[in-house]
Amino acid sequence: MNNMNKFFLPSVFLFCLFIPSKLFGQAAMPLTEEFLAGLPPSVADELRLNNAVQKEEELEKLFRADIRFTKSKDILEKVRYELKAIEKRLDEVEGAPKKGGLERFGDSFFSTIQASFMPVNVPSASGKYVVGVGDKFQLMLTGTTKVSSASSEEQMVQRDGTITIPNIGKLRIAGLTLDEAEEAVAQYLEKTSPGVLSFLSLTKIRDIDVILLGGVVSPGIFTLGGGSNILTALNVAGGISENGSYRKIEHKRNGETLQLIDLYKIFIFGDINFDQDMQSGDVLFVHPIQNSVPVSGGVNTQAIFEALPGETAEDLVKYAGNFSASFNGYDSVYIKRNDLSSQQIIDLPLKDLKSFVLKPRDIVLVPSYKNSLEPAKEVVLEGMVERPGTYYVGETETLGDLIQRAGGYKENAYEFGGALFRETALDTEQHFSKLTYSDTINFIIARLSQPGINITADFGKLLAEELRSRISTGRVVAEFNISKLKKDPSKDIILKHKDRIVIPPLEKVVYLFGDFKKPTNLSYNPNSNIQDYISMAGGLNDSAQKDIIIIDPSGVSNVYKKGLFASQKIELYPGSVIYAPRDIGKIEGIRYAATISPILSSLAISLASLNSISD
């Protein structure tokens, strides 16, 4: 997505959300499915999952005359935050490169899209929650004095910090914790109305306005639920900006610093201990970023970390989750130190990590080594063996070893027709098939300009048929006779991952394909020769080549030349294939075929992998 789209998409989103009903005579437009369809799938799905499509009701408040200006501004701030969150997610989908290939530690914590525009004010506060003006309580009174029966009323803490106890009086509870407020009400009733029991429960937490300044994505004033903490406030403001610090966040009230927060204590060690609750008027100031130090290699969390003044290499390794298992065996790490005028690599022994103070522009490189995770070799054995199935084989296990481990051959197994199919062989076949195709086309094109050559449509059709006939199977010719393998182990092939072995049953058939007058499958007769089978197929067509290809069940190919019958001794076996290629030089409309025919004739050799036991 280009820069224009990045600007245009959020703008369209905002426009769609805030079209006034007065302009169109209907309610403000929600986040529609049409809009979501224009987003990357992962972003659109996230918006749907977070119920972003159903926010129309809250946005309508923006245009009601009776709503306060501050509430309208608050909603707008939250919409602005959501737009920034969407832009951030779009950048992530597009795979925007990170500095040095590493992500800044902590950025992913604030990268989610909020589920709601509204402040979180669901009453789930603990007993230490400090009561304030605007909090609402359900107060139940039971007893005999001044209350005839149990009564329950909702009471809000007024501006003077008090709640009203019906028929009894007022009690100030603002500034007390929930536990203290419950105790105060009980003691007050004990003094003023003996016999009356109280049950106080928080039903709604007040909203508070806090100010976020400094290194946050969206500085400003935000309305939060009264039970919100510092993380909630930072998240609503879009998180820490690129120049903001995760290590130094100042919480101020009435001009005084209440606490300094280091988010690493939370993100890395899980130490969530906020000493002060957030109150209206509080300020969170995120200081500028400190020294950034990339840590990569043999650690559990590779990232760019922020180092405070005086922190050492040992501190940074702890922030990176300590050394990973891949670091085992090393006794030092490397510090790449970049000064303004030079660069050096420091070999830092482990015993010196604690005392080595990091400087700006330092890089921590932790050596590591990981074994290649190779899967166990899996081989499929099919057909006429006692226990066909999938086997896991050792590094040096051979074809003969696996056949014996599977219980050997069944009685009707045709081991001479056994086939081994291998992925690497298939890749090689397909590669050279493309090369042959390319060479053939280039050869023909180079001769089109020669005088007298006339390439007709018949030729193009024939060429396409020949090329489509190239079947790549990845078959490897192998010896399957166990006795021969034992006598000569050098013939025993070591198995590879994903090999497939097929042992067919014995079928006494000879297959005749190609340019025969009657291509057919004939019963095997040990007394018949090649010429006998050709005769039984009606003989060859006039367009057949002189060379006949004989393919053994084992996958081995031989060329049988007509006219030299007496001098050739080519054995036929059950499952043998007799293939007669077509001589394209005899196709009408092709001249100078002697220059083209040899190239196309070579295509027929690819059929050497075609035999009776191919699936």
Q: How many other β-carbons are positioned within 10 Å of the β-carbon of residue 315? A: 19
pLDDT higher than 60, residue 83: yes
What per-residue confidence (pLDDT) applies to 598? 45
What per-residue confidence (pLDDT) applies to 250? 94
What per-residue confidence (pLDDT) applies to 471? 63
Burial class (CB in 10 A: 0-12, 13-18, 19+), 124: exposed
pLDDT range class, residue 402, cuts 50, 70, 90: very high
Angle between helices 423-447 and 593-601 (to 10 degrees): 170
List phi, psi (to 5°) of 603.
-65, -30
**Highest-scoring range by mean pLDDT, 189-193, 450-454, 489-493, 610-614:** 489-493
Mean pLDDT for 471-483 is 84
pLDDT higher than 70, residue 585: no
pLDDT higher than 60, residue 173: yes
Fold adopted by 291-366: Outer membrane lipoprotein wza fold like (3.10.560)
For 256-279, how does the pLDDT look when each residue is reduced to its tens digit (9 = 90+)?
A: 999 999 999 999 988 877 667 788
What per-residue confidence (pLDDT) applies to 17? 43
- Ranges for all domains in the chain classified under CATH 3.10.560.10: 207-288, 291-366, 381-609
pLDDT higher than 50, residue 186: yes
Sheet holding 197-204, edge to edge: 151-156, 136-142, 197-204
For 297-338, how does the pLDDT look when each residue is reduced to its tens digit (9 = 90+)?
A: 999 999 999 999 999 999 999 999 999 999 988 999 999 999
For 491-534, how does the pLDDT look when each residue is reduced to its tens digit (9 = 90+)?
A: 999 999 999 999 999 989 998 988 888 888 899 998 888 888 98
Tokens of 243: 């120049």
Between CA 582 and CA 592, with CA 587 as vertex, the angle to 5 degrees is 105
pLDDT range class, residue 282, cuts 50, 70, 90: very high
pLDDT range class, residue 569, cuts 50, 70, 90: confident
pLDDT higher than 90, residue 608: no
What per-residue confidence (pLDDT) applies to 387? 95
What per-residue confidence (pLDDT) applies to 54? 46
What per-residue confidence (pLDDT) applies to 29? 41
What per-residue confidence (pLDDT) applies to 359? 92
pTM as predicted: 0.55
What per-residue confidence (pLDDT) applies to 36? 62
pLDDT range class, residue 66, cuts 50, 70, 90: very low
pLDDT higher than 60, residue 235: yes
Average pLDDT, the chain: 76
Burial class (CB in 10 A: 0-12, 13-18, 19+), 558: middle
Tokens of 183: 């105790």
Fold adopted by 207-288: Outer membrane lipoprotein wza fold like (3.10.560)
What per-residue confidence (pLDDT) applies to 240? 93
Could you tell me which residue, 266 or 472, shows the higher pLDDT? Answer: 266
- CATH homologous superfamily, domain 136-204: wza like domain (3.30.1950.10)
Mean pLDDT for 113-140 is 65
- Ranges for all domains in the chain classified under CATH 3.30.1950.10: 136-204
Fold adopted by 381-609: Outer membrane lipoprotein wza fold like (3.10.560)
What per-residue confidence (pLDDT) applies to 397? 93
Mean pLDDT for 472-482 is 85
Could you tell me which residue, 3 or 382, shows the higher pLDDT? Answer: 382
